Structure 1
């Protein structure tokens, strides 16, 4: 008795028959490298047929035919940082339907770790890279560019190297946070920045200073934490809390983890949030609204950033020219219990 398509693994021939096209056309439509050879209407019909049949590409066979590993390297600074897993999920969500897999490398935020991760991934013959490394390591990224490796930068840039960058619109997020506190009556704000060798830390600190200058009578002070961590947030905030004569009533942290450190330091010093001092984070990591108090923060579209970076990389792998463009996705200020009227 012959098995039906539903009872066995669907083949490209099955997909082609359901879509009403030749098997070669179906194969090209499902391959990011060759999709441009097929009309958009045909691609849509083939993709819908593949989903209906639960078709899974034979990645090994395709790799042998195209001299491709069908893998993409993803470099991140710290997999334990809750900011990065949604980005990776976004990347995988776009890669998998196209037959690609992601290899994740963690740098632990060190430049040497970043170079080692890039080298390890290239040794595994990945087809391209999505790099969100913690350090602004321009030399290793420049070497990849000179070697013709397809790369998309994510969240953190690499200086003048002309690769595309996908990030959230940090400047608009900082501006919204400053404006929110200003409208609540705060006139002296503190920004706790991350290390300045990280591009997002430098960009958010610069955006904070610019935003403060745009409001009459608003004073802005910047303090630098030595890491993007809760512990670093505590260490940066405790000296501020030891002398409240400066009149700071609102804090905008570079990341939510630093903001948690700020809240922890305030609790340790008996400073109430938001009665005595308001706090705003950045990123809106999972559970931010479950903190005590619920954390006001700038929501960054992490999953969408991962999807967009993967789209750009697969476009490049299919033959499209890489353009040194910066794509900034919109961010949103989420106002919760950690902000309130300024204490006088």
Structure 2
């Protein structure tokens, strides 16, 4: 069996004292070491295949070097790039991500949070929060580091990272308005979570800003951000028999539900109705027709969420901010001027 490579081996290869090698390898103390020396130590560690002892490192600072993360639905394609960004950044910091799926079930979420606490994870990244979340309130009272990702909360106020929904919905509404659409429907998400409420409120604001009429019959609140919820929502919208030429969907899966109903009812996209999605998840360019969507930088959101939780753990209170990353509009074949 090959001998385990130690910190002393790395120090010897880099021709530095072991304490210097330790500081150079530790992200929190790396700035105390000359940049040339840091580079030499990192190269030596890479050449030797050195793997730091995370348990020993954690014992030194009374940490487990693990971060818990809760997501509502791992089958939703928007979460994998967020998780990847979080994991990549935490790995750089010598931490491990423990990922749990809650299925949007309150009891399951509560049980998972309790298990995470018992395992003494150093902090939590949560993507499942309702706008008011009593469990998170209790964790904050115990000074537990928590960061929200792709969500915000009214109570308690928490550090969070998400896309700028107000700007994103504005991109969608202004795009449709520029094509000549005036009767624009909105398949909104649930108002119990920040993404549903914020996008809906932004839709109303941008419609007013573009001097477009808001017809209550053209607004349907979907039960969740899923394809089936989009099916039910679009059916309900069509059954109201209110005229419209375009739809701003709460997300791409809701938009995909619109595609299903349109196919069933002989509605042509974009000839009869234009549709804009939100998130620009993988394969939206493979829809028939390809979906115009607001792209959110999910990987970058994950990286920033990891940086916030690391800051909160290192110095409580310093990471307590809300970050909104800018979106982009990806125009594809699902939008066109309204039929004359």
TM-score, scaled to structure 2: 0.91
Shift of 1:144: 1.2
3-state SS of the aligned residue for 2:57?
A: helix
Shift in CA distance, 303/47, structure 1 to aligned 2, threshold 3 Å: farther
Shift in CA distance, 57/269, structure 1 to aligned 2, threshold 3 Å: same
Shift of 1:84: 0.6
Give the corresponding residue for 2:29.
35
Verify the 8 A CA contact 1:109 1:135 in the aligned structure 2.
no
Shift of 1:112: 2.6
Give unmatched runs, 5+ long, in structure 2. Answer: none
Give the corresponding residue for 2:145.
150
Verify the 8 A CA contact 2:165 2:199 in the aligned structure 1.
yes
Instruction: State whether structure 2 residue 174 is matched by structure 1 residue 174.
Output: no
Shift of 1:320: 5.5
CA distance in 2, matches of 1:39, 1:329: 33
Shift in CA distance, 216/67, structure 1 to aligned 2, threshold 3 Å: closer
3-state SS of the aligned residue for 1:187?
A: coil
Instruction: State whether structure 2 residue 230 is matched by structure 1 residue 240.
Output: no
CA distance in 1, matches of 2:240, 2:314: 58
Alignment match of 2:199 (pick from 204, 210, 233): 204
Give unmatched runs, 5+ long, in structure 1. Answer: none
Shift in CA distance, 31/149, structure 1 to aligned 2, threshold 3 Å: farther
3-state SS of the aligned residue for 1:252?
A: strand
3-state SS of the aligned residue for 1:279?
A: strand
- RMSD (Å), alpha carbons: 2.3
Alignment match of 1:125 (pick from 120, 123, 140): 120
3-state SS of the aligned residue for 1:153?
A: strand
CA distance in 2, matches of 1:252, 1:47: 49
Shift in CA distance, 322/143, structure 1 to aligned 2, threshold 3 Å: farther
Shift of 1:288: 1.0
**Residue by residue, what CA displacement relative to the aligned partner does 1:137-162 show, whole Å, maximum 9, x if unpaired?**
42111111110111111111122424
**Residue by residue, what CA displacement relative to the aligned partner does 1:174-216 show, whole Å, maximum 9, x if unpaired?**
0000000000110011111111101110000001000000012
Shift of 1:241: 2.2
3-state SS of the aligned residue for 2:81?
A: helix
**Residue by residue, what CA displacement relative to the aligned partner does 1:109-135 show, whole Å, maximum 9, x if unpaired?**
133332222111111111111111153
Shift in CA distance, 121/333, structure 1 to aligned 2, threshold 3 Å: same
Alignment match of 2:71 (pick from 65, 76, 90): 76
Shift of 1:53: 4.3
Verify the 8 A CA contact 2:82 2:301 in the aligned structure 1.
yes
